[in-house]
Amino acid sequence: MEKINIDKLISEMTLEEKASLCSAADAWHTKRIDRLNLPSAMVSDGPHGLRKEDDSPAHFGLLDSIEAICFPTASALACSFDRELIENVGNALGKECQSEDISVLLGPGINMKRSPLCGRNFEYFSEDPYLAGEMGAAFVNGVQKNDIGTSLKHFAANNQEWRRMSISAEIDERTLNEIYLTAFEKVVKQAQPWTIMCSYNQINGEYSCENKMLLTDTLRDKWGFKGLVMTDWGAMNDRVKALKAGLDLEMPSSHGETDKLIVKAVNNGSLDMETLDTAVRRILTLVDKSLISKDKHSGFKYDMEWHHEIAKETAENCAVLLKNNGALPLSKNQKIAFIGEFADKPRIQGGGSSHINCHKIDSALNSAKQFADVTYAKGYNTDNDITDETLLNEAVNAAKNADIAVIFAGLPDAFENEGFDRKHIDMPKCQNELIEEICKVQKNVVVVLHNGSSITMPWLDKVNAVLEMYLAGEASGAAAVNLLFGVANPSGKLAESFPLRIEDTPAYLNFPGNRDKVNYNEGIFIGYRYYDKKKMDILFPFGYGLSYTKFRYDNMKINGKSASENNFSFKDNDNVTVSVDITNIGEVEGAEIVQLYIENHIDEDNRPVKELRNFAKVKLVPGETKTVTFTLGFRAWAYYNETIHDWYAPSGDYKILIGASSRDIKEAKKVSVLSTVTIPFVVNKAATCEDVERFAKNKAPLDDMLMKCVKAQHKEDSEKTLEEELKDLKCGFGGVPIHSTLSFTPDELKYEDIQQTIKAINESEK
């Protein structure tokens, strides 16, 4: 099919037709213009499967969606720390979109896990912006290699469900850029998603859909985004203001009402035609890509069984072994009891817009039949939190008569879902009681978890092993069994910290806020950044995960030189290579996730103790050694500086850390970095004498002013020289604002002296 002649179409459109394109035709389609032979494009919910609804425009999420493959949710996928794996999942989903004539898959979601209470955390990757950005970019690249678009969401600061459509996230500039925008920036620069979906909420009092700083100044001008920006469903507030801010497409249909507002604004001169044409051009570009894709891949059909197998292998690579005192892997010769309703009916996904009508669901109970003759007891009901004594007793008896009890537990839909936040981070009481009672009669207890976010584990010390599956998709049961019996080796690591209790979490006092606002007072300190800074005990740290084998780390090198050498110095914009040897010293094949963190040793601005800056997953057979190599650039050392409104890496000492988790560092080396960026120092009302001494290029004007004071007070019989007395005075005045020095100096110092000093210092900074 020939490309659309976009310039010709725009020139032929009426004002009303242009305005009409700026909102959808229904829940899932852009508008068509029959007069100009312009078709529509279709979008569909994702991101871990297709939720394609009936094509009837009268329906909006009311009917069952088509049958599709449910892959592991983002909370599970991120634990793989595997860019290639995530890209393969995206590739599979892109092919499914081709088969169903879908132009844009609505995902991935890369909002930060500010609090474990967010009800939609199962759809988000991580508490760490670097990891979320890398996972998101891999996913987008995987989907879009099939000529299918993605919609990166929710831009930005969508970190809770309570009042998500109206609440204002109050965030300072540094926190917004350093934590809540970084993942979006990485995906835009590394993958260029076709579209971005703005969030419902306000940011500092302005709705995301009409936030020019967000949609134009940052997204397009600073990051170079080329695609289309659409609203989340129903996120439009002021249509004309949103268009001016850079919001192109309103979803879903507005029944023509907001189109009229656009026409009116152009006619009365409050909206220029150029702004409207820019939005129309982006929408037409999307439709053009859609037409080309449909023509190129016409008639394509995918193999559902093959994709189901991909989902299973993905789930195996995402699961995290949290504890193992020898109970795992299971043996076929053991008498095994599977306990818990999730063994028979696993919770594989969250509810809401991402809920998939699965092709089929593998239960652990059925999948285990190929390995052993397991007994089963339901143990609890998932539809309530009340212990059923009959079910409990049956489960205890089953466990008592077995060699080992495997309890399938976790969070039911009523505990976490789109649309509401969690009230606590505990599992249902009936499940916790079940585990406690079984531990009284059985010493070999394994717990398999199905949950979308972190939970507490009051029984952790009493069980032998814990396998975290998260919400692992339609093949999670088969994947869990393969992991339990050692057919697959657990290799995932936690993409979020597991706190001991909700009161320990960084946003506890400020989540979810009041009716109008939620204050992000914890700033940049979320997740492990917070726990490490406060040196807090936690249940499981970020990046943690065990294996059925063991690994050795050694021979760390920087730029090809042994880390035992000294004087590793380089500029902040140099590319630095870091390598380390990883050896499988166990008896089975396995994969290790190697993590690189940067530790800050500079006493300037409040920075985290360490931050993830790279990672790699390496597969090794017993006895095998592989060298893992990382490349670090400017952003490895940098933080967002509000003075220059950009990233800045101060000169000084840092430490490169190589570890198996954020709290299991295997290799470390201090390095020196020289900044190539100069932060201009400005004497403002708060600037102190100490600030001038530390940051000003030219300190002479302040020295001259203070020397005038020294000379006025100097006594001829003094044992100290003028220079020594000046040093003492500067020490005493360290924390005194320059404008206040007048109150503590002799009459010889005048107001004009202070003003001239301030002016001279500021002039030298230009």
Average pLDDT, the chain: 95
pLDDT tens sequence across 516-558? 999 999 999 999 999 999 999 999 999 999 999 999 999 999 9
With bands split at pLDDT 50, 70 and 90, how would you rate the model's confidence at 583?
Answer: very high
Give residue 1's pLDDT band: very low, low, confident or very high (50, 70, 90). Answer: low
Which of 446-450, 585-589, 591-595, 605-609 is predicted least confidently? Answer: 605-609
The proportion of the chain whose per-residue pLDDT surpasses 90, expressed as a percent, equals 84
In order, the DSSP letters of 515-541 are SSEEE-TTTT--THHHHHHTT---SB-
Q: Catalytic: 603?
A: no
Averaged over 162-174, what is the pLDDT? 97
pLDDT at 602: 83
**Sign of the CA dihedral running 92, 95, 100, 104:** positive
Give pLDDT, residue 62.
42
Q: What is the pLDDT of residue 328?
A: 98
55 pLDDT tier (thresholds 50, 70, 90)? low
Residue 710 pLDDT class (50, 70, 90 cuts): confident
How is residue 224 written in tokens?
């170079």
Q: What is the pLDDT of residue 734?
A: 86
pLDDT at 46: 87
Task: Tell whether the model's pLDDT for residue 496 goes beyond 50.
Answer: yes
pLDDT digits (tens, 9 = 90+) for 415-448: 999 999 999 999 999 999 999 999 999 999 999 9
pLDDT at 63 over 70: no
Per-residue burial over 96-129, b if 16 or more Cβ lie within 10 Å, else e, is bbbbbbbbbbbbbbbbbbbbbbbbbbbbbbbbbb
List every span in the chain annotated with CATH 3.40.50.1700.
Answer: 310-533
Mean local confidence (pLDDT), 109-128:
98
Residue 621: pLDDT band (50, 70, 90) is very high
pLDDT in tens, 251-288: 999 999 999 999 999 999 999 999 999 999 999 999 99
pLDDT at position 57 over 60? no
pLDDT at 314: 98
**Mean pLDDT of the 394-419 span:** 96
Q: Which of 26, 45, 147, 232 is catalytic?
A: 232
Whether the CB-CB separation of 43 and 104 falls below 8 Å is answered with yes
Alpha helices in 145-236 (DSSP H): 173-175, 182-191, 212
Domain 551-674 has CATH 2.40.170.20: no
* Cα first-last separation, the chain: 57
Options 3.40.50.170, 3.20.20.300, 1.10.10.1100, 3.40.30.10; CATH for 42-57+64-252 is 3.20.20.300
Reduced to 3 states (helix: H, G, I; strand: E, B; else coil), residue 423 is coil
Q: State the Cα–Cα distance between residues 305 and 69, nearest whole angstrom.
A: 9
Q: What is the pLDDT of residue 220?
A: 98
Its pTM stands at: 0.95
Provide, rounded to the nearest whole percent, the portion of the chain with pLDDT above 70.
Answer: 98
Least confident of 409-423, 455-469, 474-488, 706-720: 706-720
Task: Give which of 342, 347, 349 is closest to 379, Cα–Cα.
Answer: 342
Q: What are the residues whose beta carbons fall under 8 Å from the beta carbon of 459, sequence distance 6 or more?
A: 432, 435, 436, 439, 447
For the cut 60, the answer to whether the pLDDT of residue 745 exceeds it is yes
**Which tens digits make up the pLDDT trace of 182-210?**
999 999 999 999 999 999 999 999 999 99
pLDDT average, residue stretch 707-715? 86
Helices 389-400 + 429-441 axis angle, to 10: 30
pLDDT at 54: 61
CA angle 261, 32, 198 (to 5 degrees): 55
For the domain made up of 310-533, give the CATH fold: Rossmann fold (3.40.50)
Residue extent(s) of CATH 3.20.20.300 domains in the chain: 42-57+64-252
Q: How confident is the model at residue 751 (pLDDT cuts 50, 70, 90)?
A: confident
pLDDT of residue 706: 87
Query: Given this model, what pLDDT does residue 746 score?
Result: 77
Helices (H), 250-350: 257-267, 273-296, 304-318, 341-344
Phi, psi for 600 (deg, rounded to 5): -95, 130
For residue 114, give the 3-state DSSP assignment: coil
- At 58 the pLDDT is 46
